[in-house]
Homo-oligomer: A and B are copies of this chain.
Amino acid sequence: MNAGILHFASDYMEGAHPEIMRRLAETNLEKTPGYGTDRYCAMAGEKIRAACDCRGAAIHFFVGGTQTNATVVDGLLKSYQGVIAASTGHISVHEAGAIEFGGHKVLSLRGENGKLSSKSIDAYLKDFLGDGNRDHMVQPGMAYISQPTEYGTLYSLEELAAISGVCRDHGIPLYVDGARLAYALACPENDVGLPDLARLCDAFYIGGTKCGALFGEAVVIPNPRLIPHFFTIIKQHGALLAKGRVLGLQFDALFADGLYARIGKPAIDAADKIRAALEKAGYAQHFRSPTNQIFVVLENRELEELSKRLEFSFWEKKDEAHTVVRIATSWATTGEEADDLIAALSSPRA
């Protein structure tokens, strides 16, 4: 990439946390059995269970998010069921139809700022059970939410508990996509911890790829009997890593000494600084997001000018004259990089 360009397009531009690289190098020529049956996977599983305060949980490691979602959703649903999700959810929009490839419909509900409300889920489920001929429709078999959402917003503990309650009342599992979970955990206003997720959800994943791992996600299933023969389902989805230890070892490093709880902090610190500077410079934010993603409304002229110095993600056109772009910080963002970005952003409005 060009020197001088500031890279804020996503939170998966760097490699891995140095501790992970150290552990990979250190164990490189050890011989271990395959498919997640090695001792590093076992050690990582133990640490994750402890962090979730959920001794009986099954832990499964995956390589990436779309793969994880497609496999878990397929594992949880019967062939004739679909998954409730926000219309902005990752599985609804950005997984190229991976859920449908598995034969399941995504039952999209309108959310707000990326979030579903317990009320809208409840209304949908009640309506489905109501009058009329519902057995010609796809049966809602689970609910999917993301924490943080694709828009960087957070479910509060109260909101999560309410959604969990609705799902349990209706007997369907709740699954949480935690691709950026570390950025929720590091966010001051977050009140949902790993033990809360383990208590309130039926399955969730702890994101590694965007949160300091070279790649990898850890699925937590508090009650392992929920998905029988999950190993074979993972294999069938092409999602079983031969050298499972590469995943286990990374999560063992991420969950040693509380690293995962801390690892998102630099991203949040940088994002907070950037948000303050944006407000000061008079930029509008598309909506308030407290985590590592910032959605800024730019005039087209500003967009053009900033694009010369700055790399961000195009999000959507707001109107003819304005565009929404996403700035993402990461675990590896330095204070200096944030300062450079702030300086760059200030110039069009100076």
Set of chain B residues within 8 Å of A98, measured between Cβ atoms: 235-238
The minimal Cβ–Cβ distance linking A160 to chain B, given in whole angstroms, is 26
| Residue on B nearest A70 in the bound complex, by CB | B238
Interface residues of A, count at CB 8 A: 83
Set of chain B residues within 8 Å of A135, measured between Cβ atoms: 96, 229, 231-232, 235
A319 within 8 A of B: no
Residue in contact with A229 in the complex, picked from B12, B28, B78, CB distance below 8 Å: B78
Residue in contact with A104 in the complex, picked from B74, B100, B209, CB distance below 8 Å: B100
Set of chain B residues within 8 Å of A65, measured between Cβ atoms: 242
The minimal Cβ–Cβ distance linking A25 to chain B, given in whole angstroms, is 5
A13 within 8 A of B: yes
The minimal Cβ–Cβ distance linking A108 to chain B, given in whole angstroms, is 8
Q: Which of A136-144, A166-174, A272-280, A340-348 contacts B (4 or more CB under 8 A)?
A: A136-144
A30 within 8 A of B: yes
Set of chain B residues within 8 Å of A317, measured between Cβ atoms: 130-131
Set of chain B residues within 8 Å of A256, measured between Cβ atoms: none
A282 within 8 A of B: no
Residue in contact with A33 in the complex, picked from B9, B96, B233, CB distance below 8 Å: B9
A287 within 8 A of B: no
A239 touching B31 by the CB < 8 A rule? no
Residue in contact with A64 in the complex, picked from B14, B27, B31, B241, CB distance below 8 Å: B241
A100 touching B96 by the CB < 8 A rule? no
A132 within 8 A of B: yes
B95 touching A82 by the CB < 8 A rule? no
Set of chain B residues within 8 Å of A24, measured between Cβ atoms: 15, 21, 24, 214
A66 within 8 A of B: yes
Q: A24-B214, A97-B103, A135-B235 are in contact. List 17 more A-B contacts (CB 8 A).
A: A1-B31, A12-B242, A15-B29, A16-B28, A21-B24, A25-B25, A63-B63, A69-B238, A94-B136, A95-B236, A97-B138, A98-B235, A100-B104, A100-B105, A209-B242, A210-B242, A237-B238
Interface set of A (CB-CB < 8 Å, partner B): 1, 7, 9-10, 12-16, 18, 21, 24-25, 27-34, 63-71, 74-75, 78-80, 82, 93-98, 100-106, 108, 130-132, 135-139, 209-210, 214-215, 228-229, 231-233, 235-243, 246, 313-317, 332
Closest 7 CB pairs of A and B: A67-B238, A15-B28, A96-B235, A13-B31, A96-B236, A97-B138, A7-B31
Q: What would 23 A/B residue contacts be, using CB atoms closer than 8 Å?
A: A12-B34, A12-B242, A14-B30, A15-B29, A15-B243, A21-B25, A24-B24, A63-B63, A69-B238, A71-B238, A75-B79, A93-B137, A96-B135, A96-B235, A97-B236, A98-B238, A100-B100, A132-B314, A132-B316, A135-B229, A135-B235, A139-B229, A209-B242
